[in-house]
Amino acid sequence: MARRHVTFVVALLALLLLLVGGWLGRRPIFGYLEQRNLAAARRIVGEYLADQLPFDTAAVRLSKSLDHVGWYYSLRAKNTGGGGSLTAIQLAPPGYSEEDPRITRLFRESMLVRLSPDGRARMEQSFRELDSTEAASRKRP
């Protein structure tokens, strides 16, 4: 009976050690998962650009993939002293430019796809304002 007790205690300590190690190493794990989902997002964009995936389907899949990217980013970034940052997400797969308007259109639709009609209207207005600001900045000498 004592031997079972010792085995149980050792197993419990090993599990505790694994949990503590996992908790302490979570940032690299979440970073890996974030990058893995970002790679999946790029594959979706690539399939769309290669006409292997319809626009609407690609937008829904990209939306879900980017939700995962954001979730893992937030888990990795928690408790970093309160500092936040905006990070540009590179969605262009190899061989394509980030400036490709099809990527912008797909990204925007992926942001709109799950919004309510009112939220969609507000976001579309924000996109129009962003576009006009960008166009005005290009016209300046």
CA-closest candidate to residue 112, choices 62, 47, 48, 45? 62
Evaluate whether residue 127 is within a structural domain. yes
Evaluate whether residue 2 is within a structural domain. no
Q: Over the chain (141 residues), what is each successive 10-residue block's mean pLDDT?
A: 74 75 68 91 96 97 93 73 61 92 93 89 88 80 62
- What is the pLDDT, as a whole number, of residue 82? 46
In angstroms, what CA-CA distances link 65 with 9, 82, 141?
41, 26, 39
Range of the domain at 124: 24-77+88-139
- What is the pLDDT, as a whole number, of residue 10? 79
Evaluate whether residue 50 is within a structural domain. yes
Evaluate whether residue 69 is within a structural domain. yes
d(CA 69, CA 76): 11
What's the sign of the alpha-carbon dihedral 45, 49, 53, 55? positive
Evaluate whether residue 36 is within a structural domain. yes
- What is the pLDDT, as a whole number, of residue 7? 84
Number of compact structural domains in the chain: 1
pTM of structure: 0.71
Evaluate whether residue 82 is within a structural domain. no
What's the sign of the alpha-carbon dihedral 11, 14, 20, 26? negative
Q: What's the half-sphere exposure (Cβ side, CA atoms, 13 Å) at 112? A: 17
- What is the pLDDT, as a whole number, of residue 60? 96
d(CA 50, CA 43): 10
What is the tens place of the pLDDT at every residue in 32-71? 888 999 999 999 999 999 999 999 999 999 999 999 988 8
The alpha carbon of 98 is separated from its chain's Cα centroid by a whole number of angstroms, namely 16
Q: What's the half-sphere exposure (Cβ side, CA atoms, 13 Å) at 129? A: 6
Evaluate whether residue 130 is within a structural domain. yes
Evaluate whether residue 96 is within a structural domain. yes
